[in-house]
Amino acid sequence: MQDALSMIYLWLKAGHIIFVIFWMAGLFMLPRYFVYHQETAPDSPENALWVDRERKLLKIILLPSIIVVWVFGIALASSIGAWSQGWFHAKLLLVLILSGYHGWLSAYAKKLARGERPFTGKKLRLLNEVPGVAAALIVILVVVKPF
């Protein structure tokens, strides 16, 4: 029985890592798309192409990835009893922040689709660093387990 549970754990872990990679790739790509999108004329055919690209990235890559990441992550945390560990609380906070960032990106895509452009390309380039910093901190927490 223990062997079966450990195999399920390894499959959950592999799936979680795979979908984290997909999710992070999308979180890196979308703000870059926004930068290119904002450089187009609002009523141009190219603008419509960027709206479609952003919508597809959100619906085909980002949404399924965040769902699978959360489902597998909760299953993994439950299987190892991580809910009472300090490193896991910090990781969970960072994942919640990344999830909020994902939601913000989704809302910003809708603003761009309506023709609103509240941020500059420079600000969007800075915001593109959020997932990288969060990912680095999460990896340290999971691997090193400093507390």
Binding residue ranges for heme: 16, 91
Binding site members = 16, 91
CA distances from 87 to 19, 78, 80, 137 (A): 21, 15, 13, 11
Query: Which residues, 6+ apart, have CB-to-CB distance to 45 below 8 Å?
Result: none
Residue pair 27/6 in contact by the 8 Å Cβ criterion: no
